[in-house]
Amino acid sequence: MYVSQSTGGSVLELRALAKSFGGARALRGVDFDLRAGEVHALLGENGAGKSTLIKIVTGAHQPDAGTITVGGERVAGLTPAAAHRLGIACIYQQPALFPDLTVAENIGLRLESGAALRKVDWAGRQNSAQELLRRIGAEIRPDAEVRSLSMPEQQLVEIACALGAGARIVIMDEPTASLTQKEQHLLFAVVRDLRQSGVGVIYISHRLEEIFSLADRVTVLRDGESVGTHLVGEMNEASLIRLMVGREMTQIYPPSEATPGPVVLALRDVGCAVSGVRGVSLEVRAGEILGLAGLVGAGRTELARILFGLTPADAGEITLNGERVVLPSPQEAVARGIAYVPEDRRRHGVVLELPIEENMTMAIHPRLFPGTWLRLGAERSLALDYIRDLAVKCTGPTAPGASLSGGNQQKVSLARWLATKPKVLILDEPTQGVDVGAKSEIHKIVRRLAKEGLAVLLISSDLPEVLGMSDRIGVMRGGTLTAVLPGTADAHTVMSAALGQVEKGAA
């Protein structure tokens, strides 16, 4: 690495950065700068180039062209170790900690220097970790094993490491994707403290409300290019979306075109002691999208797992098309026509190492490959049909799942279950962590499926999504249903039901 003098008051300047992978151009002359004591949001659809840009800043990738200036000094040959020495830290959505070590040990390994055989000051390490955790308001014991921590707690440990390292540039990549509302507020307070202390923060999020709450400036990437840098106070949600997708999005949620038909799925006082669900009575009709709202821990995902046979019901009655059924396993649920697209697509939705075609056909192998014969032509044909039908952006059916953006991974996960020809489709947080363009595409797909007669149960923590997509809205609290509201219900009514302030009723 060589460093040469350059002028500039910013803590980070990127000029005309370009990067290609094979024949694909990820960045095309991107300009970006970060000032001390500001939060600069970086926005763009999945595939716009945000991840590539961040990997260049952290030294994981080398740019093909362009310049990088850190603290007024031009830097070339940037490596992860050099980035760390220059005060650059990145907090990823999936923290990179050692699970079998304690919090204090993880922090110590990041921050301590010296010979491998040096004597460890265990008390000092513990006290240092305690002080860093205190500074960010984290109620985490330094002696706790990392594997015992929740994902949000692990993110806070990463932030403590960045503070301890004296980082001047902190990058936060979708930091609130797995946080509760209380934890989000704690993180926002930490971000504001970092800004107050003169740290420059690059903040990446698909949640526009966070941008307006936290950021001073925003830069938008589209198709590998920077299409604008603006003061947040000069923008609104519509103008940001227009910059991100390159078109007006006057109709974020497509209108319902379906006419609900007969009841497909009916629950009567359904419960499961293990999952804390009790007394749920609910109906979902053919051609209907029934939104399921509620606060974190309300029992929505637990209800989905009951319906898919993962934690079978031990009380009540479930009927499909008027026939009482028992769902002791996912195999039985699939056989009965129930499909479930889970919340965590990386753990349960898409096998990242497998090709797209294998991901799409995984749930129908017995039907696709009867006996001992592999009908690879049939698998390829089906995959190509879904790639076209769902507009999956990929290089082809043999591309690995890991090569796809979050929105396209979600489409592949959806295709897997549509291939089973279900009667009931359960979608758990279908647009979590995907950009506004991919959200719009997924919403259109779901609307079309309902129009074709599918009964859809849509679980979402995004209240505007529930309000915009639902024909009716069920609200859960404490493992039970507190209300079933019409799709025209407003945010205040839904939130009141989620807080237990609305009497249980039927729409």
High-pLDDT (> 90) share of the chain, %: 45
- Which pLDDT does position 4 carry in this prediction? 39
Please tell me which residue, 160 or 499, carries the higher pLDDT value: 160
Closest CA to 205 of 39, 80, 414: 39
Confidence of residue 67 (pLDDT cuts 50, 70, 90): very high
User: Which residue carries 């497909």 as its tokens?
Assistant: 264
**Rounded mean pLDDT of the chain?**
86
Measured at the CA of 162, the angle between CA 160 and CA 166, to 5 degrees, comes to 115
Confidence of residue 3 (pLDDT cuts 50, 70, 90): very low
Token pair for 21:
């992978």
Report the relative pairing of strands 73-76 and 39-43 from DSSP bridges. Answer: unpaired
Average pLDDT over residues 258-266: 92
Look at residue 159 and tell me whether its pLDDT is greater than 90.
no
Confidence of residue 333 (pLDDT cuts 50, 70, 90): very high
Token pair for 357:
């075609």
- Which pLDDT does position 222 carry in this prediction? 86
Cα dist from 153 to 194, 213, 437, 455, whole Å = 18, 22, 30, 37
Residues of the chain with CATH 3.40.50.300: 36-48+84-245, 263-350+422-498
Look at residue 99 and tell me whether its pLDDT is greater than 70.
yes
User: Distance of alpha carbon 242 from its chain centroid, rounded?
Assistant: 21
Runs of H (alpha helix) within 324-364: 330-335, 356-361
Confidence of residue 316 (pLDDT cuts 50, 70, 90): very high
Look at residue 42 and tell me whether its pLDDT is greater than 80.
yes
Domain 263-350+422-498 sits in CATH at 3.40.50.300
Look at residue 246 and tell me whether its pLDDT is greater than 80.
no
- Which pLDDT does position 256 carry in this prediction? 84
Helix (H, G, I), strand (E, B) or coil at 404: coil
Look at residue 8 and tell me whether its pLDDT is greater than 50.
no
Confidence of residue 48 (pLDDT cuts 50, 70, 90): confident
Cα dist from 177 to 33, 183, 429, whole Å = 25, 11, 11
Report the relative pairing of strands 88-91 and 169-173 from DSSP bridges. Answer: parallel
Confidence of residue 155 (pLDDT cuts 50, 70, 90): confident
Confidence of residue 249 (pLDDT cuts 50, 70, 90): very low
Contact 433, 206 (CB under 8 A): yes
Which overall architecture, per CATH, does domain 36-48+84-245 show?
3-Layer(aba) Sandwich (3.40)
- Cα gap 183→198, rounded to integer Å: 23
- Cα gap 277→42, rounded to integer Å: 40
Cα dist from 374 to 138, 371, 380, whole Å = 53, 9, 11
Contact 475, 444 (CB under 8 A): no
Neighbours of 311 (CB within 10 A): 18
Average pLDDT over residues 5-22: 78
- What does the longest C-alpha to C-alpha distance in the chain come to? 76
Please tell me which residue, 467 or 258, carries the higher pLDDT value: 467
Q: What is the pTM of this model?
A: 0.60
In sequence order, what are the residues at sequence separation of 6 or more whose Cβ sits closer than 8 angstroms to the Cβ of residue 317? 267, 268, 269, 270, 324
- Cα gap 46→147, rounded to integer Å: 30
Average pLDDT over residues 129-136: 88
Look at residue 84 and tell me whether its pLDDT is greater than 70.
yes
Cα dist from 494 to 253, 277, 426, 429, 489, whole Å = 18, 20, 20, 17, 7
Token pair for 184:
């989000």
